[in-house]
Each structure stands twice: as C-alpha cells, then as structure tokens.
Chain A
Amino acid sequence: MQALVGKGNKKPPGKLSLRLYSNLARYAGEKIRPFPVPVGPSETVHGLIQRFRIPMSEISMIFVNNSLTCKLDTPVRPGDEVEIFGLVGGG
C-alpha cells in the first residue's frame, strides 16, 4: 500500500518531441517523423544524443525549438521540439 501511494505521488516524466533526420533515423528504429521522448528535470542536448547512442561525427546541425544551437549543454525540457540533422550531400 505504501509503495502504491509513493508511486502515485511521483509525477510521470514529461516528454519532448525528438526528430532524427536522414542517416540518424537508424538510432531510433528508422523513425523519420518526430517521436515523444521522456525527459527528466536536468536533461541536455548531449544527454539525448548519448541516450540514443548517436556518434557526434554523424551530426551536422541541432535545433531546439526551431533555433540552431551549437552548445551541447543546452537544457531541454518537456514540450520542447528537438531536431538533430545527420549527414547529407545533396545531388
């Protein structure tokens, strides 16, 4: 009973929307659309990249809420839209 009460008090983690472009889709089961990702209170862009085991060498651009960011310690929160671009060469 105690444990159940404890669980009830704990707020479920919020979610952000993550989109992995082009070659990065393979790090999330080839999802090419945005998908929800639960995030804790002190999550960063870098944490997300690590969680999905994305090699830094395969990343070209990162956007948080439509804003280009170069800083890996940029905090991310529930409700954010994070977009990570891989490598393309056009043609």
Chain B
Amino acid sequence: MPFGYAGKILHINLTTSDITIEEPDEMFYRRYFGGRAFLAYYLLREMKPHEDPLGPGNVLVFASSAIGGAPSHGLCRFSVGAKSPLTGGFGESEAGGFWGPELKFAGFDAMVIKGKSENPVYLWIHDGDVEIRDASSIWGMPTGEAQDVLMREIGDRKIRTVLIGPAAENLVPYSIIANDLSHMSGRNGMGTVMGSKNLKAIVCRGTHKIKTKDQKLVGSVAKRVARDRKDNPLSYGLHLLGTPAAVLHFNHAGALPSKNFREGTFEGAENISGERMMETLLERREGCYACSIQCRARVGVEDNRFTVEPRYGRPEYETLVGLGSNCGIDDLNAVVKGNELCNKLGLDTISMGGSIAFLMDCHEQGLLPEDWVNGLDLRFGNAELMLQLIEDTAYGRGLGKKLAKGVRDMARELGPEAEKLAVQVKGQEVPLHDARGKAAVGFGYAVVEKGADHLVSGFDILYEKSDHPGFVSVAPLGLLEPLDVLDMGPKKIRLFVYMSCLWGFYNCASICNFAFVPRSITTTAELVDLVKGITGWETSLWELMKVGERSINMARAFNVREGFTRKDDTLPDRFFQPLEGEGAMKGYHIDRKTFEEALGLYYGIMNWDPEKACPTYAKLVELDIDWIWDHIK
C-alpha cells in the first residue's frame, strides 16, 4: 500500500448502478495530487463539452488528496466538482470537517459519479465496500432530519455524511452539500448537481488508517503547531473569535459590505460582530479532524421568535455579513437563524444573502415590478422577511421563485438598470469582501474559473506591512516587497499569481488555509516536510506550486472548452463606482483602465493567449498536461 493515499478511485454510474474501482499509478498522484486537479482531470476526460449541468451527462467528483486525512492538523478538506449550474463553467467547492478523511479511511481517495438514478438513493461506503441504497424515506427532509434517519438506519453514530436539503432537490442553482451538518461545500451549486442525480447523501465509515513514510517528521510539525498556535497572532485570533473577528475590523477600515455593496460601513456592525456573538450565543468551540487550532464553534439561540439548533454550526464572517449588513440587517439572532435555515434547507448563505440584498437594492431604487413586490416590505433591514425569503427560495414559493434564479438571471429579467446593481461574476454572487478595499481579492473575483471567490490568493492586508507575519511568511516564494492593499499594479499581479499557485496547491492537497501561511501558522518549509513525511517523495516547494499552477490551467481549460472567453473575466459595475455612505473609503472605486491592464498582464504572466484567455500549448507542455491541448485548440 502506498504512503499517504489509498490508491483507489471509486467510479459510480447512477443510471446503470455500475461500480468500478480505478487504481491509478504513483505518477497520477504526484502530478495531480488531489482536490481541484482531480476534479478538472475527470471533468475534462469523462464529460462531453456543453453538457446540461442538471442532466445525467454532468460528472460529479468528490476528491481528497495524496495527503488528506494524514494524522496532522489542517489536512481535513475535500473538494467537490462538476459543471456548475450557477455559472455553466468549472464548478468547485471545498469544505473541512471529518468527511474527507473518513472517505480515505473507507478506502478511497476520490469518487467520480455519473448518470442519474431513477429514484432517490444514497451511497454507503464502508471499509472498501460500496452500496447504492434507497433514499426515498429521506427525500424531501431537511439535512439534520435526514442525517438522524441515516444514523438510525445504519446503526452507527460515527458515520460521516455529506447530504443535500430540499433546495437542492428543487434544483435551486446555489444549493450546498452539508457535511456533518456544520461544514458546507457552499459554492457553485454542487448540491444542486447531487439533487439532479437523485443522490441525497453519501455516507462514509472506515477503519483503515493512513500510512505515512516518516511519522516522526509528520508528528514534529503537528507538535510544533500545537505548541505554538496560541503564540502566533493569526492562529490565536482564529481560535479566539474565528472569521467573525473581521466584521468590526472591516467596518472600521470602511470596507464592510453593506446594503448590496453600496456602502462600506454599517451602523449596526457591533450588533452582528463576532464579539457580540461570542458573548451572547457561544455554546462551545470546536475544530476539524486532527486540528489543534479549533477555529470553529457552535452557537444557540432561544428568543421569543424562534430557536436555533447548535448542531448547524456558527455563522462565519461571510454569513454574518451576507445575511446581515449587506441586507442592512443588524439583528444577530435573526442572522444566526438565517444561517441555520440555509444549512437545514441546503442553500449557500453567500448566494442567498447576495440575492436578497440585490432585490432589496432594486426595490429601493424603484426597479422591481409590482408583481415581484406583491405587498412585501423589501426595504433593507427587514430581518423577518429575510428569514421568510430563505424558506420561500428553498421551496420555490412566491418571490422565492425569482430568488432561486440567482442574481445574474434576476437582473437579466429586470433590465439594464438592475444589471448595474448585480454584484456577481460569471453568475456567482460575490463573497462579502469589497473589491474596492482589497485589490488582489477583487482581481481574483474577475479571473477565477469558478466565478467570484475570495479564497484564491490571500487578502491584501496580509502583504501590506514588512513586519506582518503573513508577509514575512511568503518570502520563500520570492515575495519580498510589501504592497498597498489598494494597489492593483504589476507587482500586485505578480504576487497574485504566486499566491494563487500556492493556494491552488492547498486546494489540491486537502489543506486548510486557516492552518497554513500566509493566513495562519504552518510555514512553507513545514508544508514541504509534511508532504515528504507523508508520501516519502523527495519534493520541494517548487514542485508543489507547480501542482497548484497545473490545477489553475486545467480549470481554465474546462471553461475554455465550454466557451468562456476574456469577456467573462470581469468585475461587477458596482466596484467601478464610488463607495457611498460615510466610511473611511467613501468615494473610492476601481479604475477600469488599471483593471484592464492588470488583466492583460495576468494573461501574460500565466503564458495564456490574451484574446482567448486560454493556456497556450507551450504552457501545457511546461506543466506536463499537453493532452489537454486537444480539448481546447
């Protein structure tokens, strides 16, 4: 048995119920590693171009990696990929927790699912065995209830689940996959693809342990991090408040998305802050598989309007802002309830919040026809309505039918004035970071293959000061000059490329960016040690970054094959308009010319064709993936 990986990829055809096991060679694992590169590999090879994302021809891939689930912190994540029903392009979503490691303990590094089952089914994967089981009794159930039934049916409370809720069954294009109820593969509508295949859940349980080549080396890194995690300001901050710490920070900096990204500060920010949530609602902190950082938590609410079940997890920063300030809402309990509803019914809080904020903005601008409004008070700040609209979206009722189209399609229906308010890229609603306040993050929104995504290159604030631990940590990449957060010039694009290659590796290797540099504590030298210690490969940071770069080019090739061009690499009009309100960044906007120059430079650095925004043959040869040329030439 190899070190680090199981050496087996599961292939399941839900139309024919065929189950086969592929055993790729070591070269495959070392070249593609896992995660995003696995997704792109199978989507390019096993799916025909221009398939309907909701048809049986779409291919759904779940991938851990060559090192995922090894006994160290921050190696818990897995990726899900398919053609996205939200964007029509490369779909990708990652989540942490325990499911990814459990898939490996059950004997598989990844699984490729094709076809469509006639009736609702779930997959039961345990110690190398695979069963396709009837799921008609749990079809229609919210995620938590469905999980309860599965635990009873299988008779094991230690099972790990990924499952979908009613929203995905009803094919809302931004439906999530819930992983043990509180970790979400949230973006790109991967849950919707499960729903379209009549696949309710995948349950894993395994007892195989992952073999490592040099456990002493792996253990030394894990121990160092466990010892120093409270001394490192970044990992300590993650533990103390988690991502919600950013609410008040960004509000003071004038870049907290408020009212559909109209403004950069929010009067009620204190009410929806991480500090307030910790003081009033915290039940306990928790973490993911084998991780000492413990940056997650459970919260509970009991007020006279509703209760919130802690098992659905604490809202992260994205949700607090997406359902909170960006909808003009400062009612913390309602936002926490909204988080629970989205996780129960299976909706992405970023896209859901973005869709509601867009409608509220359109309403305040007088752009909504009466048959959309239908007597609803759609002004910013209506928390009760936000909760109602989440349920209506999941079940396709009333205005929920419109919301279930997502921002891009609603805007197209409403006309050009509404399209100016549509804060989306490639059809995906923008995460809760104002592109005007973070140049590299904003640039990433435009170019990333999956549509607007914030976890690409790290935030500009990590690289703005020479003594910032984030900046210091990336010196081994040759990033030696601190850069202003608002700078979108050539040096920032260089930084973006290097960092997206490192981050690209993270997304291929089950790595959590809350455990590794520049956002956290584990160094690049330790990263290389971990890969060496787990796999036994004599590797280097250079080789690992090339894996990341390879994965970006593969995802790009998929989009090119689907017809994406340079014009899809763009930003919403809103970010080219001045920030309104009274915050510190009032009046600031991105300059269109600067953005276009940055885009051209990016293609140049990537060695892509500048018109087609497509990898060149030479680049594919350099990355040892020239087989892809036949798919895109």
Contact = CB atoms under 8 A, between A and B. Distances in A.
Interface of A: 21-23, 25-26, 30, 32-33, 56-58, 60-61, 63, 68, 83, 85-91
A28 to B, nearest CB: 12
Given A32-B278, A83-B252, A90 B468 contact: no
A21 B113 CA distance: 46
B470 A90 contact: no
A91 B233 contact: no
A20 to B, nearest CB: 11
Interface in B227-280: 230, 233-234, 236-237, 240-241, 243, 245-246, 248-250, 252-253, 275, 278-279
B584 interface: yes
B252 A23 contact: no
A17 B249 CA distance: 18
A86 B518 CA distance: 15
Main DSSP-derived SS at the B contact region: helix
B297 to A, nearest CB: 14
A56 B236 CA distance: 16
B426 interface: no
B237 A87 contact: yes
B205 interface: no
B62 interface: no
Contacts of B230: 26
Nearest to A32: B275
Given A61-B252, A89-B461, A32 B279 contact: yes
Contact of A91 (B236, B240, B278, B317): B317
Contacts of B487: none
A23 B234 contact: yes
A65 to B, nearest CB: 13
Given A60-B465, A63-B252, A91-B454, 7 more contacts: A23-B234, A32-B279, A33-B279, A87-B237, A90-B243, A90-B317, A91-B318
Contacts of A32: 240-241, 275, 278-279
A21 B278 CA distance: 13
Interface of B: 230, 233-234, 236-237, 240-241, 243, 245-246, 248-250, 252-253, 275, 278-279, 316-318, 433, 454-455, 458-459, 461-462, 465, 467-470, 513-514, 518-519, 584
Given A86-B233, A91-B317, A23 B240 contact: yes
Pairs of residues from A and B, 6 with the lowest C-beta to C-beta distance, nearest first: A23-B237, A57-B467, A23-B233, A22-B245, A91-B243, A90-B246
11 contacts: A22-B240, A22-B241, A32-B279, A33-B279, A58-B233, A86-B237, A89-B461, A89-B462, A89-B470, A89-B518, A91-B317
A90 B248 contact: no
Contacts of B275: 32-33
A90 B236 contact: no
Contacts of B317: 90-91
B519 A89 contact: yes
A68 B519 CA distance: 25
A33 B279 CA distance: 10
Given A22-B245, A57-B468, A61-B252, A90 B240 contact: no
Contacts of B467: 56-57
A21 B248 CA distance: 9
A56 B465 CA distance: 11
A22 to B, nearest CB: 4
A11 B469 CA distance: 43
B519 A22 contact: no
A63 B265 CA distance: 15
Contacts of A88: 237, 245-246, 249-250, 461
